[in-house]
Amino acid sequence: MTSERINIFDTTLRDGEQSPGINLNPFEKVEIGEQLARLGVDVIEAGFPVSSPGDFEGVEKIAREVHGVTVCGLARAIEQDIRIAWDAVREAEHPRIHTFISTSDVHLEHQLRKTRDQVLETAGRMVALAVSLCDDVEFSAMDATRSDPDFLAAVLSAAIAEGATTINIPDTVGYAMPAEFGTFIRGQFEKTPALKDVTVSVHCHNDLGLAVANSLAAIEAGATQVECAINGLGERAGNASLEEIVMILETRRGDLGKTTAIKTTEIDRTSRLVSQLTGYDVQPNKAIVGKNAFAHESGIHQDGVLKERTTYEIMNATSIGRSQSDIVLGKHSGRHALKAAMEELGISLDEEELNQAFANFKKVADKKKQITAIDLEHLVGEELREQSDIYELRSYEVMSSSEFIPTCQVIIDKEGRELPGKSFSGGSMESIFMAIDDAVGTQGKLKDYQARAVTGGKDALGEVRVVVEVMGEDYAGTALSIDVVEASAKAYVRAINNAYRAGAVK
């Protein structure tokens, strides 16, 4: 049986980024965008360009720098939004404008304050504008599942008549149930014959925990694109989780007869990167990417798996890229081994980059016995993020004891200029953060602090994430080091860099 291809439209960087507390800078967005391209998604929805200059910059940067994938910008059905979205995506290899308007009466009456006729007219006119700018236009009918099916069909027909190439039918508030949603989608195919000439997409929210089930019901009813996010990120309870949809289609391919272009062995790495940069932990029992998703705790299960893996496992951990790579480097590994290991991670380095990476690798390898693929992946990310920082931690010295007040001195580098800072107060961590504030001239307020070991062992790399309030706004910073004190200082400096990018630090 030949499998029908389902397009994976990833909205981690748009709907996912709308989750409270997530605020990725443009460099972090590109880092995630590149990993999404490596994962093999068909479309990256990179942001909502009109919403802020930072969002515009992130979308534009992804459009310029991430290749081999469609890059999409979101726009309300408003002329200014559409023109700005086009400006942000126009340099992509494959640009897409995604424009939307609500179609449910509750939204029309209370939010848009428009009549059905006005919405119908606006949808057609704005799709026509988008089509005059870009060949690839997606139209979404927001709150479709609570809309009158006949009115929805009229709006979708108008959008198709004006040239929309993808029609998205979202369950914006996560209210639908699978069988009902499948029937709803089939109904739209009947009412709107032109749907068979375009890509039909769904975008399901997870308020009742049904986003993945609803997406599958829609696929069975004829949808050929699903909108989803890594780790199920998104507004409120999130969007359908990309990894769950993909692995269901993969594991049950014989029954469903659908396939995607996703390279499933990149799933685990993508999930880790998104979790690291957004600060949203993955629950241990989360399907597919949770820490325990492939762990067998009970004796009976362990016994069964040892005798025959399929007794209790329907998927193999290696299929999502977990424990698949046996890269282990150490202090005796040479430049060649590092280059090969990087290539296995999908990262190719030129001569100069390799020299820099090798120098950094040696520093860590001197202190840490074994460097695994996960360590390498984190070290590469850390190096990338350092390159985009204006402020850098040059050195620090903390004196701390149970007997006296900690003192700290730091030197921060700002584009080649050394900024010294010192402090005497509080705990040793507080003292470092205050010394950094002294050097930069900020008065940051620490709102959150989390530290974790990247892998096991006493010599594990430490990763720290902080959220710092500067001038009334929160900025996050994540950093990595073999020393958790250094990781903390670097994370604080990274948050200051994010405040600088937003204009809150001079």
**Interface contacts to ligand KIV, rule CB under 6 A:** 15, 100, 140, 142, 168, 170, 172, 203, 205
Q: How many whole angstroms separate alpha carbon 416 and alpha carbon 8?
A: 44
Strands 7-10 and 225-228: parallel
Q: How many whole angstroms separate alpha carbon 116 and alpha carbon 153?
A: 12
Write down how long the chain is.
506
Instruction: State the alpha helices, DSSP H only, in 279-350.
Output: 299-307, 335-344
Answer left, alpha or beta for residue 145, where phi above 0 means left and psi between -120 and 50 means alpha.
alpha
Residue closer to ligand KIV, measured from CB, 142 or 496: 142
Residue closer to ligand KIV, measured from CB, 169 or 440: 169
Residue closer to Zn ion, measured from CB, 240 or 267: 240
DSSP state of 456: S
Using CB positions, name the residue nearest to Zn ion: 15
Backbone angles phi, psi at 312, to 5 degrees: -130, 5
- Partner interacting with residue 122 (select from Zn ion, ligand KIV, none; CB below 5-8 Å by kind): none
CB of 484 to Zn ion, least distance (A): 37
CB of 294 to ligand KIV, least distance (A): 31
389 makes contact with Zn ion (CB under 5 A): no
CB of 313 to ligand KIV, least distance (A): 34
* CB environment 271-291: b (16+ within 10 A), e (fewer): bbbbbbbbbbebeeebebbee
Residue closer to ligand KIV, measured from CB, 75 or 470: 75
437 makes contact with Zn ion (CB under 5 A): no
Size of the site for Zn ion (CB under 5 A): 1
Residue closer to ligand KIV, measured from CB, 205 or 272: 205
- Partner interacting with residue 142 (select from ligand KIV, Zn ion, none; CB below 5-8 Å by kind): ligand KIV
CB of 299 to ligand KIV, least distance (A): 45
How far from 161 is each of 100, 167, 189, 275, CA to CA, in Å? 16, 12, 15, 41
Cβ neighbour number for residue 112 with a 10 Å cutoff: 18
- Partner interacting with residue 100 (select from ligand KIV, Zn ion, none; CB below 5-8 Å by kind): ligand KIV
Q: Which of 15, 31, 389, 437 binds Zn ion (CB under 5 A)?
A: 15
Contact predicate 8/42, CB 8 Å: yes
- Partner interacting with residue 286 (select from Zn ion, ligand KIV, none; CB below 5-8 Å by kind): none
Report, in angstroms and rounded to the nearest whole number, the Rg of the chain calculated over CA atoms. Answer: 25
CB of 140 to ligand KIV, least distance (A): 4
CB of 205 to Zn ion, least distance (A): 6
